[in-house]
Amino acid sequence: MGYIESLRKVHGHDMIMTVGCGVLIENEKGQVLLQKRSDTGEWCVPGGALEPTETYEEAAQRELREEVGIEVENLRLFGLYSGEDRVIKYPNQDIVYSLAVIFVTDSFKGNISDEDSEVLEHRYFSPEEIPVDNLFAPDARAILDWKNGGNTKLVK
């Protein structure tokens, strides 16, 4: 059982605070890999929650291995995200306030897979193709920062 599942046994659906770690993966065509969520059908940054004692990089690497099927390398910090738009109410009624640590890389090993139950699809998008009307709201700022040429402020 993971950390969040153990908290849910005590707190039910009430808000808990988490830290999400995600990776914007760029390819040689100047595109970014996004993940279509199975719970909402929206596009998001591939990643997931930090577990106790993990580093941010370890969490991002584990989540990409689990959800995308790849080993990411050469992670560079892209941005830190907090604020009201980081309050997430999931379809199962769980509520989290999820701070986000987002990395960027152009280096990974393995083949991208859509086999994880949390994923409907992975797809590369050019900045002009980003589906801005179908982004998972908590990840929208990071994705739009990437679309607009990068995160110039780092902390959001």
Q: What pLDDT is attached to residue 155?
A: 57
Give the list of residues 6+ apart from residue 36 with CB closer than 8 angstroms, or none: 42, 43, 44, 119, 120, 121, 122, 123
In a domain, 153, yes or no: no
Range of the domain at 91: 3-147
In a domain, 32, yes or no: yes
Q: CATH number of the domain that 63 lies in?
A: 3.90.79.10
82-98 per-position pLDDT tens digit: 999 999 998 899 999 99
In a domain, 119, yes or no: yes
25-58 per-position pLDDT tens digit: 999 999 999 999 999 999 999 999 999 999 999 9
In a domain, 152, yes or no: no
Count of domains forming the chain: 1
**Residue length of the chain:** 156
In a domain, 64, yes or no: yes
Q: What pLDDT is attached to residue 3?
A: 87
Q: How far is it, in rounded angstroms, from Cα 26 to Cα 32?
A: 4
In a domain, 107, yes or no: yes
In a domain, 114, yes or no: yes
In a domain, 18, yes or no: yes
